[in-house]
Amino acid sequence: MTNEPRTDIGTPTPDELREQVERTRDELGQTIEALADKADIKAQAREKTAAMKEQVAATAGVVADQIRTKTRYAAQLVKDTTPEPVLDQAGRAASVARTHRKPLLVAGGAALIVLLLVRRSRRSR
């Protein structure tokens, strides 16, 4: 065959055939890439995991800000509505609790254990 223009309307020239083959190869390559992407479950899972991490981090940041704001508001509300002597006494109690943290934690843990044992013995009756 020669590279001459077609003489018969239904027969493509060799150049046209080459172009068709090249287009078909390109389309086939794109199709194969798309199928490979769909078949790559691990990559899809990684992408979804990364997206979820970003979403969770954003949501956690918003929730943390809301909690901080509400905590400040509640603390100010308590401070504004509580009589001064009670605030002084609470401040002293908090100071003592900070200096004697270990004994208080041990006592609280022991009280929790006793409470759980009492509840357990009452259930078994």
**Is 31 a domain residue?**
yes
Residues 66 and 122 in one domain: no
Q: What is the mean pLDDT of residues 35-47?
A: 86
Q: Write down the pLDDT at residue 4.
A: 59
pLDDT at 50 over 60: yes
What own/partner pairs with CB < 8 Å and gap ≥ 24 does 58-62 have? none
Residue 125 carries which DSSP code? -
Give the torsion sign (CA, 110, 113, 117, 123).
Answer: positive
pLDDT score of 25 more than 90:
yes
Is residue 2 included in any domain, yes or no? no
In a domain, 3, yes or no: no
The mean pLDDT value for 44-70 works out to 94
In contact, 79 and 87? CB cutoff 8 Å? yes
Chain segment 79-118, per-residue pLDDT in tens? 899 898 888 898 898 898 899 999 989 999 999 999 999 9
Is position 1 within any domain? no
Q: Is residue 69 part of a domain?
A: yes
pLDDT at residue 114, as a whole number:
94
Question: Going by C-beta distance under 8 Å and a sequence separation of 6 or more, which residues neighbour residue 6?
Answer: 12, 13, 16
Is residue 90 located within the same domain as residue 71? Answer: no
Q: Is residue 102 part of a domain?
A: yes
pTM of the model: 0.39
Number of domains in the chain: 2
Residue 13 DSSP one-character state: -
SS3 3: coil
**Do 96 and 76 share a structural domain?**
no
Residue 18 has pLDDT above 90, yes or no: yes
Residue-number span of the structural domain to which 122 is assigned? 84-125
Tell whether 93 and 55 lie within a shared domain.
no
**Are residues 74 and 30 part of one domain?**
yes
Helices (H), 1-125: 14-39, 41-81, 84-99, 101-124
Same-domain status, 77 and 90: no
